[in-house]
């Protein structure tokens, strides 16, 4: 098996075709990682996502430095991993960045049931808090791709 470093353009291509990853954040020297659906905005060079208030949002509010991992795995010899290093920012309707809020909703509406799983009912019947739309400004990308050697 050979592992290759990916170029920035190759990383962008993976991001453009992906909508699911694992978001890592940290607080008080404790990492936390969760699965998230996201929407890549190539023009603004950021990722948009949606969640309800909870640990992930609270932690990112306190420490906006985040990392998102996107994997494409065919088998143990053929895989691609892209890491996005960036900064969390909430997107509020009333803020001066309301254009970003409109853009987020435009991207979300490209998929049916875009609010899932963030707003799905919790098995215990627990009510969700207010929705939080956020974006991750991309500071840098890195990626690796593996393929079986001949």
- Token pair for 128: 């969700």
CATH of domain 2-147: 2.30.110.10
Q: What is the pLDDT of residue 124?
A: 54
Q: Which of 140, 69, 131 is nearest to 104 (CA)?
A: 131
Burial class (CB within 10 angstroms; exposed 0-12, middle 13-18, buried 19+) of 57: middle
Burial class (CB within 10 angstroms; exposed 0-12, middle 13-18, buried 19+) of 140: exposed
C-alpha distances out from residue 62 to 4, 89, 93, Å:
35, 11, 21
pLDDT by position in tens, the chain (length 150): 899 999 999 999 999 999 899 999 999 999 999 999 899 998 889 998 888 889 999 999 999 999 999 999 999 999 999 999 999 999 876 555 566 666 666 666 666 654 445 544 545 555 555 678 899 999 999 999 999 764
Q: What is the pLDDT of residue 120?
A: 47
Question: Is this model's pTM higher than 0.75 or not?
Answer: yes
Q: Which of 137, 139, 145 is nearest to 7 (CA)?
A: 145
For the chain, the structural domain boundaries read 2-147
Is the previous residue joined to 117 through a cis bond, with omega within 30 degrees of 0?
yes
- For the chain, report the end-to-end CA distance as a whole number of angstroms: 8
What is the Cα Rg of the chain in Å? 16
Tell me the C-alpha distance between 115 and 63, whole Å. Answer: 25
Q: What is the pLDDT of residue 113?
A: 55
Torsions phi, psi for 17 (to 5 deg): -100, 0
Burial class (CB within 10 angstroms; exposed 0-12, middle 13-18, buried 19+) of 128: middle
């Amino acid at each position: 098996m050979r592992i290759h470093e990916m170029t920035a353009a190759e990383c962008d291509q993976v991001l453009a075709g992906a909508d699911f990853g694992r978001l890592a954040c940290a607080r008080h020297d404790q990492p936390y990682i969760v699965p998230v659906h996201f929407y890549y905005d190539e023009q603004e060079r950021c990722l948009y996502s949606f969640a309800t208030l909870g640990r992930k949002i609270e932690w990112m509010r306190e420490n906006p430095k985040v990392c998102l991992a996107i994997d494409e795995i065919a088998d143990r010899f053929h895989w691609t991993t892209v890491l996005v290093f960036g900064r969390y920012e909430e997107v509020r309707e009333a803020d001066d960045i309301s254009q970003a809020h409109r853009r987020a909703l435009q991207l979300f509406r490209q998929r049916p049931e875009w609010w899932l799983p963030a707003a799905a009912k919790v098995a215990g019947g627990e009510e969700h808090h207010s929705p939080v739309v956020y974006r991750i400004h991309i500071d840098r990308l890195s990626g690796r791709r593996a393929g079986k050697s001949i």
